[in-house]
Amino acid sequence: MDAMRANLTLAGRDPVVAPRQHAIPGDHVARNPGLPLDLDLVLAQRVNRSAAERRAATIPTRRTVKKQWQAAWLLRAITMIDLTTLAGDDTEGNVRRLCAKAMRPLRPELEAQLGVEGLHITTGAVCVYHQLVPTAVEALGDSGIPVAAVSTGFPAGLSPFETRVAEIRASVAAGAKEIDIVITRGHVLRGDWDALYDEVRTFRDACGAAHMKAILGTGELATLTNVARASMVAMMAGADFIKTSTGKEPVNATLPVSLVMARMIRSYFEATGFAVGYKPAGGIRSAKNALEYLYLIKEELGDRWLRPDLFRFGASGLLTDIERQLEHFATGRYSATHRQPMV
């Protein structure tokens, strides 16, 4: 645990840019059971914002992929999208069409042009509000695509605690295989780590066999140090994924925040042997931006994290731009956006 404390601190002589050996879990990833809360370890996390921002700024410039390699990366990105609809005007019809898109994210003629018909590419999951979980479960059938439900008073997470726990249980009972929970940001801002740990641990217990993604609401946590500490507490409490945002905050996923969260995931794995997934969400709409997140994950965590069980994009419009880029690769022309309708 002392070595873990040393590995996690991002302050001092700019260790943010220091080379590190990648964590390499095997093909099978055991579920994170969590740890008892270690306040000394949590409070040891301090992030040098300038160093983190400098490192994040190099991500788009250090690595690039072109032509068939870019197409391959974008096809992989599709498999890691939580195709999401979280609008106030969601209807059962919208969700059914979204599920159809999740099961066949690329048009048949584009699949044929790319030569990937036999890969049976699908998105990683479909993410909806609780009341639309049964509709999504029915629409997806035996496709193997899980339904993720946003829960616990999404997006603010300020409904009564008992109501939030009951909502998790109801979504699991309705067939959701993944639950995206919202933490109480006030616990982080007050430094009440015991309360945050107890909250997330209770949510994890309520999820049962369903995997839990802990939404930190990073745009409302004030500092990168708070992001690091909240990430560590959520993983100690048993989170299967840590996720940046609800998509409803003024600032959502950013590369500096993602760098900090990836470093926390790596250190947690190195200390415990349990791999926790990462989900940036909110504002990721272009294929170029998605590739930047994949570069970051490859450099900070390694290739094993570039699979749906350890990485997801929370996105609604990203798939449209990926399709346009793939069509350009296949035909040399960009098509109109309406040729890739989401629903």
Tell me which CATH homologous superfamily contains domain 39-339: Aldolase class I (3.20.20.70)
Indicate the pTM of the whole model. Answer: 0.91
Please report the pLDDT score of residue 336 as a whole number. 75
**For residue 6, pLDDT beyond 60:** no
Give 104-130 pLDDT, tens digit per residue.
999 999 999 999 999 999 999 999 999
What's the pLDDT band for 334 if we cut at 50, 70, 90? confident
pLDDT > 60? residue 300: yes
pLDDT at 152 over 50: yes
In the residue annotation, 243 being an active-site residue is answered as: yes
**Residue in 213, 240, 279, 321 annotated catalytic:** 279
Please report the pLDDT score of residue 20 as a whole number: 41
Residue among 82, 180, 309, 321 flagged as catalytic? 180
177 is catalytic: no
Cβ contacts of residue 1 below 8 Å, gap of 6+? 38, 41, 271
pLDDT at 24: 66
Residue among 177, 213, 243, 321 flagged as catalytic? 243
Q: What is the pLDDT of residue 23?
A: 57
pLDDT value at residue 341 = 67
Strand order in the sheet with 147-150: 277-279, 241-243, 211-215, 178-182, 147-150, 125-129, 81-84, 313-315
What confidence score (pLDDT) does residue 17 get?
31
Average pLDDT over residues 251-275: 96
CA 143/CA 56 separation, integer angstroms: 37
> What rounded mean pLDDT belongs to the chain?
91
Q: Residues of the chain with pLDDT > 70: what percent? A: 92
Mean pLDDT, residues 48-52: 97
User: How far is residue 215's CA from residue 151's CA, in Å, rounded to a whole number?
Assistant: 10
Of the given ranges (85-89, 229-233, 248-252, 339-343), which has the lowest mean pLDDT? Answer: 339-343
pLDDT given for residue 18 in this prediction: 32
pLDDT at 16 over 80: no
Three-state DSSP state, 188:
helix
